[in-house]
Structure formats: C-alpha cells, structure tokens
C-alpha cells in the first residue's frame, strides 16, 4: 500500500455566506446546501526564472498532487492537465499526481482549476460526515506542488518553488453553470463571461483570496 502523502498544502474554499450548521445549538447538522451544485474557479499566478546564462530552461520536475471535495479540472498555462479524484470515502481521500513541468516556462505562469462541489450524495461522490463537516461543510480544493528550478548563477541546484494551495490563491464564482437543477444532474453551462476562464493568462473578474479550510484526513495526512 502506498504511503499517505505528507501534507504541506491547505484545503481551500470560498468564505461561505452563512453559518456552517443548520439547527439550534451544537448538535445541528452540516449545511451542505450553501455549496450544492456549485462551481468555483481557482488560480495561482507565479513567475519562473531563466536557467544558466539567462537561457530559457524548463523546470527539472514539478510534481503536483491534486484533490477536491467534489471534482476538479486542472489547467496549466491554458493546457488541460487532468481531472479527478475518483470516488472515495472522505476518511481516505484520493488524490491524483501529475508532473506539470512540461507545461511550465520561464516568466509568468498560471495554474488554474475548475472545481465542482456536489453538496449531496451521488453514485460517484460521497459527502463528508465526520466531525469536520460540521465546521467546514462540503466543497474544497487541494493542490500541493514544488517546482524544481533549473540551475543558474546564484541559485544552487536543488532550489524549489512551492505552489501549495493557501491564501495566496485566488478564486471566483463560476456563474456560467446553472445550479438549480434536479438532484442527479450536474450543473449545465450557460454562456460564459469573456476572460472568466481561469485556464488562460487573463484575470477572471473580481477574484478574491481563497479561504483556508483546514482539514485532516488519512489519505492526505
């Protein structure tokens, strides 16, 4: 059995508009309705230096571990990388690993994701029901990556740049999808706002810092 990932990144999500619990007192149930059938864009913009003598050089490696409470679609500099995670028990959260180094370049880079929170049990998704769900509800995004930078003058071989999901990431509501649909149907796309896609270098409108959603689980220890 593979070892659990040693977690350095945070689970992040939007700041919810209402209280996390429904009902009176400490024994209320988690309010999943706030994030039912909800799509969010997440993005992280960063700069990579050039290699030796200022020449363009790709990073040696950039292994990214990605997960979501729901489903994600991952993009790097506009290129589609992958989606996931597979259905799992939230007590043993699955994640996917990608080497995104081939998609990176010296200068400005963008890592972005479209994340879907289901907010209800389906045949392909299971709601969290452990104690943390009473504080955090559902919905969340996780991205852990260290970019191995190319060697250069003044930068020793082995230097790394951390891109872990935290408050430095930005997010905005992906309102190109309808939320008010029957229970078994995913949200359907509407016409999208130009420039709203996080997969390109352009900035989505009115992005805000992502909120930290601290959660421990066995798969992402």
The residue with greater pLDDT, 217 or 110, is 110
Is 128 inside any structural domain?
Answer: yes
| CA proximity to 157, closest of 169, 170, 148 | 148
Residue 42 has pLDDT above 90, yes or no: yes
Q: In total, how many domains does the chain have?
A: 1
More confident residue, 179 or 29: 179
Phi and psi (nearest 5°) for 89?
-75, 125
Q: Please state, rounded to an integer, the average pLDDT across all residues of the chain.
A: 79
**pLDDT score recorded for residue 197:** 55
pLDDT digits (tens, 9 = 90+) for 44-78: 999 998 765 444 567 889 999 999 999 999 999 99
DSSP-H helix ranges across the chain: 133-136
Percent of the residues in the chain that have a pLDDT greater than 70, as a whole number: 68
Task: Report if residue 156 sits inside a domain.
Answer: yes
pLDDT at 33: 84
206: alpha, beta or left? (left if phi > 0; alpha if psi -120 to 50)? left
The string of pLDDT tens digits covering residues 179-194 is 877 654 555 565 443 3
Residue 189 within any structural domain of the chain: no
Asked whether residue 133 is domain-assigned, the answer is yes
Task: Decide if pLDDT at 214 tops 50.
Answer: no
Lowest mean pLDDT: which of 85-94, 98-107, 147-156, 180-189? 180-189
Q: Taking 80 as the threshold, does the pLDDT of residue 205 lie above it? A: no
In a domain, 101, yes or no: yes
CA distance 85 to 67: 6
- Quick check: 94 and 133 in contact, CB under 8 A? no
Segment 17-22 mean pLDDT: 68
Domain assignment present for 22? no
Per DSSP, the three-state class of 46 is strand
Task: Check which CATH number belongs to the domain holding 167 and give it.
Answer: 2.60.120.260
- 221 pLDDT band, cuts 50/70/90, is very low
Parent domain of 41: 12-17+28-177+203-212
Is pLDDT larger for residue 211 or for residue 125?
125
CA distance 218 to 221: 5
Q: Provide the β-strand partners of residue 140.
A: 69
Tell me if 78 is assigned to some domain. yes
Q: What is the pLDDT of residues 140-165, one digit of tens each?
A: 999 999 999 876 645 666 688 999 99
pLDDT of residue 37: 93
Instruction: Please measure the distance between the N-terminal and C-terminal CA atoms of the chain and give it in whole angstroms.
Output: 15
CB 9 within 8 A of CB 165: yes
6 belongs to a structural domain: no
């Amino acid at each position: 059995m593979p070892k659990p990932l040693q977690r350095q990144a945070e689970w992040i999500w939007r700041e919810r508009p209402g209280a996390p619990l429904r009902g009176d007192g400490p024994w209320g149930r988690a309010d999943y309705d706030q994030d039912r059938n909800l799509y969010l864009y997440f993005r992280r913009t960063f700069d990579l230096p050039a290699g030796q003598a200022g020449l363009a050089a790709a990073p040696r490696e950039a292994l990214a571990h990605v997960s979501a409470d729901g489903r994600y679609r991952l993009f790097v500099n506009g290129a589609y990388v992958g989606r996931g995670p597979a259905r799992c028990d939230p007590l043993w959260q699955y994640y996917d690993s990608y080497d995104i180094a081939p998609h990176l370049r010296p200068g400005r880079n963008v890592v972005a994701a479209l994340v879907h929170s289901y907010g209800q049990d389906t045949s392909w998704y299971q709601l969290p029901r452990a104690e943390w769900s009473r504080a955090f509800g559902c919905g969340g995004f996780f991205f852990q990556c260290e970019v191995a930078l190319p060697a250069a003058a003044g930068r020793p071989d082995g230097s790394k740049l951390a891109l872990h999901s935290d408050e430095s990431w930005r997010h905005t509501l992906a309102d190109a999808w309808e939320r008010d649909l029957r229970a078994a149907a995913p949200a359907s796309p509407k016409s999208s706002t130009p420039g709203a896609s996080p997969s390109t270098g352009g900035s989505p409108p009115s992005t805000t810092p992502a909120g930290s959603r601290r959660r421990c689980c066995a798969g992402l220890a």
